[in-house]
Amino acid sequence: MKRVVITGLGAITPIGNTIPAFLEGLQNGISGAAAITRFDNTHFKTKFACEVKGLNPEEFLERKEIRHMDNFALFGVIAADEAVKDAGLEPEKLDLDRVGVIFGTGIGGLRTLENEYEAYIRGDGTPRFSPFLIPKMIADIAPGLVSIKYGFRGINYSTVSACASSTHALMNAFDYIRLGRNDIILAGGAESTITPMGVGGFSSMKALSTRNDDYKTASRPVNRDRDGFVVGEGAGVLILEELEHAKKRGAKIYAEIVGGAATADAYHSTAPHPEGLGARKVMELTLQDARMTIEDIDYINVHGTSTPLGDIAETKAIQQVFGERAYGLNISSTKSMTGHLLGAAGAVETIAGVLAINHRFVPPTINHFTDDPEIDPKLNLTFNEAQEKEIRAFLSNTFGFGGHNSSVIVKKFEG
């Protein structure tokens, strides 16, 4: 099969709206949490989130275009633009039938749906809906808009598997390229659900932290007193490219994606398997797909959402797969900084790993104060500060409601 490399990156995150800004946030252990500004949070139990800050869409798109996009698609299109420029892609020089776009999203245009329904119930009952309601709301619109912008006519769709969505997108893109069906695929994810229904829905499940008096440290993966995740928003896009195609056009190569897999817990709609069985299996299958051993992995970017059950189950699964090698790894959760980007999480966290390879550091798990007695203290969870380290290969985990598990392995490129 063909080898697949990463030749471009783009990101919009709560800790930086470009790749350089995101890198700086990771290296400095910045928290993206702040009071919610997207809506009036007066009556909500959780009053904070990890919002995208300081983004001016008019620097990238015309006002008319912006009005016709939900925020999740807007984030995806802008991140894709950064990735395309970073990769030096010139559409007029490409076989556009062999360039695709696969994006993941967990929910899609939730704010658009809320706005339209609010307008309807405030009215006189006459169904006056925007003709853009459906195209703004649907989950697959982000990759569609990217393909329209650049004329990419290859494979194009959206993966929807809750928090595992964009890792599934990466895995699918990897497969299409290594099977020779496309030369280039823009793979990633986008999400924007910091809305009354989004925050209210997760809050009613008791999934969100309620640490309103100390929101900057509320995302506390593997910390004893963690009380739920902090919802985030944003987008991440990686340019995946067939190696020989990349070489032929003289592209810079960040890293090589070498394996991916997916499993199901088949256990519960929202809770992980308590012994981490699905998580364990997906890591085993990803290692097999990459033809790598546990000794080849130097870093794991864990799902690590800061929920009481999930963090324990995942660390158990890592120890089951890696055995004694687990103590020689660096492990961290970048959600401690970005919050949980839901369907965009996998792409953004894979980008974090690619940056870690290229800049020789491990992003930290910030906001750690007290060890959890149910999590092995000998694990190197890279607490509070980034650590300098040469990373040969990393594994990134994402697990979603419904029991969806997906993982990918990316390694340092060696020609």
Q: Write b or e for each residue in 354-375: b if 16 or more Cβ atoms lie within 10 A of its Cβ, otherwise e.
A: bbbbbeebbbbbbbbeeebeeb
**What do you get for the CA distance between the two ends of the chain, in Å?**
16
**Whole-angstrom Cα Rg for the chain:** 20
Taking the C-alpha atoms of residue 277 and residue 298, their distance in angstroms, rounded to an integer, is 22
For residue 414 the two structure tokens come to 């060696």
Catalytic residue among 68, 168, 273, 340: 340
Provide φ and ψ at 226, rounded to 5°.
-60, 145
Catalytic residue among 273, 303, 368, 404: 303
Q: Write b or e for each residue in 17-28: b if 16 or more Cβ atoms lie within 10 A of its Cβ, otherwise e.
A: bbbebbbebbbe
Taking the C-alpha atoms of residue 14 and residue 337, their distance in angstroms, rounded to an integer, is 8
Taking the C-alpha atoms of residue 286 and residue 306, their distance in angstroms, rounded to an integer, is 24
Reply yes or no on whether 340 is catalytic.
yes
What is the helix (H) or strand (E) element at residue 228, kind and residue range? none
Q: E strands along 74-155, which residues?
A: 99-104
For residue 144, how many other CB atoms are within 10 A of its CB? 17
Taking the C-alpha atoms of residue 178 and residue 364, their distance in angstroms, rounded to an integer, is 32
Catalytic residue among 163, 245, 273, 404: 163
Reply yes or no on whether 163 is catalytic.
yes
For residue 63, with 0-12 CB atoms within 10 Å meaning exposed, 13-18 middle and 19 or more buried, which class applies?
A: exposed
Task: Give yes or no for a contact between 393 and 410, defined as CB atoms under 8 angstroms apart.
Answer: yes
For residue 82 the two structure tokens come to 């950064």
For residue 412, how many other CB atoms are within 10 A of its CB? 17
Provide φ and ψ at 391, rounded to 5°.
-110, 115
Tell me which residues are annotated as active site.
163, 303, 340
